[in-house]
């Protein structure tokens, strides 16, 4: 799980004692107590993602066609656009074999990532377009590092050393 609601429940979800594992062995053993805790927490995140999406649409964001065509409904995998900004989100309910999944990702008109606020707030999104993802400085001019990281000039050299290793974009 990722932004803006990270999992807080920790532990090993699957175990593989001798004789268990990949085909043709017996499947791993699920930690049902941890599964239940994660499922409860993530259901709350899915509800937050639904509210986030609905608030954005009410604020004038335009929904695009479902992200994955006719394979998944717009309510579960969605993309929104407004004033050059893009939001892509997931709010999947899960099931017996898959935990619920909720995430929101935001990019500015320049194509660089913006940390999404926990609750929808367009002012916070615009503010994020002038905020360094490394040191949190604001307002600053930001630049691209690696794929879509948004960093200030002061943080850029160190961020490039960490993220742009040889072959990072091959």
Please give the C-alpha separations between residue 112 and each of 32, 63, 84, 133, in angstroms, as whole numbers: 39, 20, 11, 10
Query: Tens of pLDDT along 11-34?
Result: 999 998 888 877 777 888 999 999
Does residue 121 fall inside a structural domain? yes
Domain assignment present for 111: yes
For residue range 35-83, list pLDDT tens digits in order: 999 999 999 999 999 999 999 999 999 998 778 878 888 889 999 999 9
Phi, then psi, of 141 in degrees rounded to 5: -75, 135
61 found inside a domain: yes
DSSP, collapsed to helix, strand or coil, labels residue 156 as helix
Q: The pTM is what?
A: 0.87
Mean of per-residue pLDDT scores for the chain: 92
Domains contained in the chain, number: 1
In a domain, 20, yes or no: no
Residue 113: its pLDDT value, please? 96
Domain presence at residue 122: yes
> Is 26 a domain residue?
no
Percent over 70 (pLDDT), the chain: 97
Q: Is residue 148 within 8 Å of 86, Cβ to Cβ?
A: no
Rounded percentage of the chain residues whose pLDDT exceeds 90: 71
Q: Mean of the pLDDT values across residues 156-170?
A: 83
pLDDT digit string (tens) for 79-125? 999 999 999 999 999 998 999 999 999 999 999 999 999 999 999 99
In the chain, the largest separation of any two C-alpha atoms, in whole Å, equals: 57
Kindly tell me if the per-residue pLDDT of 170 is higher than 60.
no
Residue 69 per-residue DSSP state:
G
Question: Which residue range forms the structural domain that includes residue 76?
Answer: 32-129
Q: Name every residue whose Cβ is closer than 8 Å to that of residue 22 and which is 6 or more positions away in sequence.
A: none
Residue 2 lies in a domain: no
Residue 137 lies in a domain: no
């Amino acid at each position: 799980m990722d932004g803006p609601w990270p999992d807080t429940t920790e532990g090993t979800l699957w175990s593989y004692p001798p004789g268990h594992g990949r085909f043709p062995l017996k499947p791993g053993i699920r930690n049902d107590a941890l599964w239940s805790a994660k499922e409860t927490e993530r259901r709350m995140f899915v509800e937050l993602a639904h509210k986030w999406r609905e608030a954005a649409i009410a604020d004038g964001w335009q929904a695009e066609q479902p992200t994955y065509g006719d394979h998944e409904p717009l309510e579960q995998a969605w993309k929104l656009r407004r004033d050059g900004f893009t939001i892509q989100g997931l709010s999947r309910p899960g099931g017996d074999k898959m935990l619920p999944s909720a995430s929101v990702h935001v990019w500015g008109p320049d194509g660089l990532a913006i940390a999404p606020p926990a609750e929808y707030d367009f002012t916070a999104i615009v503010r994020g377009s002038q905020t360094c993802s490394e040191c949190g400085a604001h307002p600053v001019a930001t630049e691209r590092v690696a794929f879509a990281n948004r960093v200030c000039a002061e943080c850029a050299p160190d961020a490039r050393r960490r993220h742009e290793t040889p072959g990072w974009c091959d």
